[in-house]
Amino acid sequence: MADHGQYDDPDAGRRLRVVLADDQALLRGAFRTLLDSTDDIAVVGEAGDGEEAVALTRRTHPDVVVMDIQMPGMDGLTATAQICADPDLRASRVLILTTYETDEYVAQALRAGASGFIGKGIDADGLIDAVRTIADGDALLSPAATRSLVARFLATPVDTAPRDVERLVALTPREREMVALVATGLSNLEIADRMYVSPFTVRAHVQRAMTKLEARDRAQLVAIAYRTGLARGYPDGKPDPV
């Protein structure tokens, strides 16, 4: 079998379908072994560059594309933009997995349409949970990516902050608490574990908060949380009381 390409898996139709895009064959192999070891995830193909990732995604229509940024030829950000702009691929979501969690890369990835951004230092369980989270329709930002995003937003003058503050009044105490936790970079599943509620309950609260705050996505919700003071620096990794 070639070290990358499309794979035929008779059980893939009953599992989350994943494409891996990374120019390091050994790393792809490790990720494939890890993801294929689960009962609900199947790697249906591997790509060594962005152009191959786009072509493979168009052929296989995976649930999630795990995408590296720095690859030869077409990079991962360009590939992500092409995948997310293709109406035939609207069901395929992109999870950026990279060594470089800089504010510029985070911002570019989100603008390109990526649904998640995590670092390669993530552990095995974290990667599996991230794929499931993205496939389930949730967005996901690692704590490092969240800090980078927040730093970028805070460094940019914003004229709409007073309006954002006014909108906070519409949030219930629980919704405010959920938004503050989202701003730490926690996924819905992690918030559910911390709050002793179901992930469905967390998603419902977060979605209602996004609607009330008119946030396009989870990243904008994080920005609003910091601009309004609902979330702050959290030196201990926990939100301030709200």
More confident residue, 235 or 63: 63
* Residue 130 and residue 210 share a domain: no
Interstrand relation of 64-67 and 116-119 (parallel, antiparallel or unpaired): unpaired
Task: Tell whether 235 is covered by a domain.
Answer: no
Share of the chain above pLDDT 90, in %: 43
Task: Tell whether 238 is covered by a domain.
Answer: no
More confident residue, 12 or 126: 126
Task: Tell whether 145 is covered by a domain.
Answer: yes
Q: Which of 56-60, 108-112, 129-133, 202-206 has the lowest mean pLDDT?
A: 108-112
* Residue 113 and residue 74 share a domain: yes
Q: Which of 119-123, 216-220, 236-240 has the lowest mean pLDDT?
A: 236-240
Q: Which secondary-structure segment (H or E) carries 45?
A: strand 41-47
Per DSSP, what are the bridge partners of residue 65? 19, 94
* Residue 183 and residue 146 share a domain: no
CATH of the domain at 191: 1.10.10.10
Residues 41-100 have pLDDT tens digits of 999 999 999 999 999 999 999 999 999 999 999 999 999 999 999 999 988 999 998 887
Q: What is the pLDDT of residue 241?
A: 38
CATH of the domain at 67: 3.40.50.2300
CB contact at 8 A, 67 and 49: no
Q: What is the pLDDT of residue 147?
A: 64
- Distance between CA atoms of residues 14 and 10, nearest Å: 9
Q: What is the pLDDT of residue 237?
A: 39
Read off the pTM: 0.67
> For the chain, how many structural domains are there in total?
2
| Listed residues 150, 183, 217: the one ending a domain | 150
| Listed residues 150, 178, 200: the one ending a domain | 150
Domain that holds residue 112: 5-150
* Residue 134 and residue 48 share a domain: yes
